[in-house]
Amino acid sequence: MARVAGKGVPLIRIGSGAGFAGDRLEPAVVLAERGDIRYLGLECLAERTIALAQLRRLKDPEEGYDPMLLRRMELLLPMIKRRGVRVVSNMGAANPVAAAEAVLGVARRHGIALKVAAVTGDDVLQMLRPEDPILETGGRVGDYRWLVSANAYLGADALLPAIASGADVILSGRVADPSLFLAPVVHELGWDLADVGRMAAGTVMGHLLECAGQVTGGYFADPGVKDVPDFAHLGFPWAEIGADGRFVLGKPERTGGRIDLMTVREQLLYEVTDPRAYVTPDVVADFTTVRIAQAAPDRVAVSGASGRARPATLKVSIGYHAGYVGEGEIGYAGPNALARARLAGETLRERLAGEFRELRIDLIGCDSLHGKAYRMAAEPYEVRLRVAGRATLREKAELIGEEVEALWTNGPGGGGGARKYVREQVGVVSTLVERERVRPALTIRETRGEKALV
């Protein structure tokens, strides 16, 4: 399926079908069906997702992969087999081998012949030493009593054997997001991992793709200022990249959204701490030399990426149990709503002061997102009080919601719509590990596609 452009230079087209664990399902199917892609990347691991997955694995050894994996695969497997698309994803989360087995189960039910590769080796929990430094706090690993997970960010090199195996679906745990997209390109175009210019180019491509709809108008639309056509049917992006590392971003025809200089500029800088040094396991990329140009409607050409050699260490994301968060909400509307909500907040602060050192009180509709209102606005017609606090024990965290709910009969007049929540909180911090200590491994699982007798 490789197209040939100009003097026999192959172009590889790779799509991005998910930008986070909970992303929409349909756009990936559209990409596979009529995006003319060879690879479909699905990036589904945020900072703490893998720690939460590890908690599920501790309860059930067959668990610990992405909760939406099977729903996505039910929809995608028939399509990717028909279109010859290969899937690369970190949906293996804390248990890539179990994820591979589960995907085979879907394939058997559909009578689809399928080869699945699981990439492991990112789990470095047993390697951590108490004296290892925590990057964010200046403290040590030993400061955290209840570690849940520790996963090194693997690079494109770790995925290459899986891609070379010919597997239809490649499932990893923690892999740097852009590496999911860079690896297939390295494989197809035969790039040298030491070629920093090409690694930087492929990393820029991966970075622009990794959040899927965020480069086609998602997390962007602002009516009258940044309008996005047919927003409800937002299409997800693909990139078509050539041997020299230049690429074009696009999206399937007859999908909503837009790809232009505005969306690409926003996404290129998204979550970037230093535009001159975007560090991945593959390269240290410089985004300040990147050139972008509108090549056609909804087509943006990207070139000029540069970089320096990859770091000697890999970043490790450490998940630790951080107790429980209790939350409660209740709403007030009509005359003096704001004052009644404030009275409710102050009252709760007094009632809960003995139990919670830190209590967060927000007035939704006034100050909950920015901490204050930047412009004087008329008093809101309705306002919602939100209270949150942290506790070591679940039972104590529940007190917050209980006190909020009790405002029904013990609070200001007209409080309604009380809700209460408690969630387990997993915190994430980082350390570094020497690259040589991390050993990626590959497991292959296959089915010939006989229908299972159920």
Partner 1 sequence: MKKRLYELAHCRAGDKGNTSLLSLIALRDEDYALLRNAVTAARVKAHLAHVVRGEVVRHEVPNLCALQFVCEGALGGGVTTSLALDAHGKSLSYALLEMEIEVD
Q: Contact residues for partner 1 (CB under 8 A)?
A: 47-48, 136, 219-220, 222, 225-226, 262, 265-276, 287-292, 304, 322, 325, 358, 360, 362, 364, 368-372, 374-375, 386, 388-390, 425-430
Instruction: Please say which residue, 289 or 443, places its beta carbon nearer to partner 1.
Output: 289
**Nearest distance, CB of residue 49 and partner 1, angstroms:** 10
**Which residues neighbour 269 within 8 Å (Cβ) at sequence distance 6 or greater?**
275, 287
Instruction: Please say which residue, 146 or 410, places its beta carbon nearer to partner 1.
Output: 146
Instruction: Please say which residue, 312 or 376, places its beta carbon nearer to partner 1.
Output: 376
Instruction: Please say which residue, 7 or 370, places its beta carbon nearer to partner 1.
Output: 370
Instruction: Please say which residue, 29 or 239, places its beta carbon nearer to partner 1.
Output: 239
**Nearest distance, CB of residue 80 and partner 1, angstroms:** 31
Under 8 Å between Cβ of 148 and 123: no
Under 8 Å between Cβ of 94 and 50: yes
Under 8 Å between Cβ of 362 and 373: no
Q: How many CB atoms lie within 10 A of CB 173?
A: 31
CA dist., res. 129 & res. 107, Å (int): 41
**Nearest distance, CB of residue 374 and partner 1, angstroms:** 4
Instruction: Please say which residue, 117 or 314, places its beta carbon nearer to partner 1.
Output: 314
- Residue 173 tokens read as 């745990």
**Nearest distance, CB of residue 368 and partner 1, angstroms:** 5
The tally of CA atoms less than 13 A away on the side-chain side of residue 423 is 8
Instruction: Please say which residue, 313 or 336, places its beta carbon nearer to partner 1.
Output: 313
* CA nearest neighbour of 291 among 324, 264, 329, 259: 264
Instruction: Please say which residue, 265 or 451, places its beta carbon nearer to partner 1.
Output: 265
- Residue 154 tokens read as 């693997």
* CA nearest neighbour of 322 among 150, 148, 134, 174: 148
CA dist., res. 75 & res. 264, Å (int): 29
**Nearest distance, CB of residue 57 and partner 1, angstroms:** 19
Instruction: Please say which residue, 137 or 410, places its beta carbon nearer to partner 1.
Output: 137
**Nearest distance, CB of residue 308 and partner 1, angstroms:** 17
**Nearest distance, CB of residue 237 and partner 1, angstroms:** 16
Instruction: Please say which residue, 1 or 269, places its beta carbon nearer to partner 1.
Output: 269
Q: Left, alpha or beta for 230 (phi > 0: left; psi -120 to 50: alpha)?
A: left
**Nearest distance, CB of residue 29 and partner 1, angstroms:** 27
CA dist., res. 253 & res. 30, Å (int): 10
First to last CA, the chain: 36
**Nearest distance, CB of residue 47 and partner 1, angstroms:** 6
The one-letter code for the residue type at 131 is E
**Nearest distance, CB of residue 85 and partner 1, angstroms:** 29
Under 8 Å between Cβ of 182 and 199: yes
DSSP 126: G
* CA nearest neighbour of 43 among 198, 221, 170: 170
The pairing of beta strand 86-89 with beta strand 39-42: parallel
Element (H, E) at 301: strand 299-303
